[in-house]
Amino acid sequence: MHETSIALSILAAIEDVFNQTPGAKKITKIKLRIGMLSLIDIEALKFALMVASRGTPAEGAEVEYTIEPPVFRCNKCGYEWSIEEDELNKLVEEYGLQSAMHLHPDIITKYFHCPRCGSTDIEIKRGRGVIIESVEIDTEA
């Protein structure tokens, strides 16, 4: 499952931070920003994090997240816009994009055209992938 590999890369990154923190004892909180276009199953990701963190400094850490709405940009006229989650879900369902977008969120741009100039040369500026916003670490006093 894709969520498992995401969980593993998150853990690897925060363990690096942990190892570079003098006196670090335990990771207590992980804050994530999750791009809406990644269609990540949040519950599956949290579960994968819980399982994969067993026996690591991140075991039992609280996981907080925010969902980052997508921002698209037209490469022809420079127009930028966003879409609502409802609209995204409709598109995903209509074209059966669930598994494809999960791995390659950029695919969604093929189903859009610029609302201003009609160009199909569109890029995703925000709203994909998982970003670690912050990590809280307990240290020895």
Q: What Cα–Cα distance (Å) separates residue 37 from each residue in 23, 30, 43, 55, 74?
A: 38, 21, 16, 32, 17
**Number of residues engaging Zn ion in binding (CB under 5 A):** 8
Closer to Zn ion at the Cβ: 60 or 118?
118
> Taking the complex as a whole, how short is the minimal distance between the CB of residue 123 and Zn ion, in angstroms?
11
Among 104, 110, 116, 125, binds Zn ion (CB under 5 A): 116
Beta bridge partners of 29: 62, 136
What's the one-letter identity of residue 138? D
Of residues 80, 67, 130, the one with CA closest to residue 102: 130
Tell me whether strands 62-68 and 24-35 are parallel, antiparallel or unpaired. Answer: parallel
> Taking the complex as a whole, how short is the minimal distance between the CB of residue 124 and Zn ion, in angstroms?
15
- Angle between the N-to-C axes of helices 2-19 and 42-52, in degrees from 0 to 180, rounded to the nearest 10: 50
Q: Is residue 77 within the footprint of Zn ion (CB under 5 A)?
A: yes
Q: Which of residues 37-66 bind Zn ion (CB under 5 A)?
A: none
Closer to Zn ion at the Cβ: 124 or 137?
124
Q: Is residue 28 within the footprint of Zn ion (CB under 5 A)?
A: no
Binding site for Zn ion (CB under 5 A): 74, 76-77, 79, 114, 116-117, 119
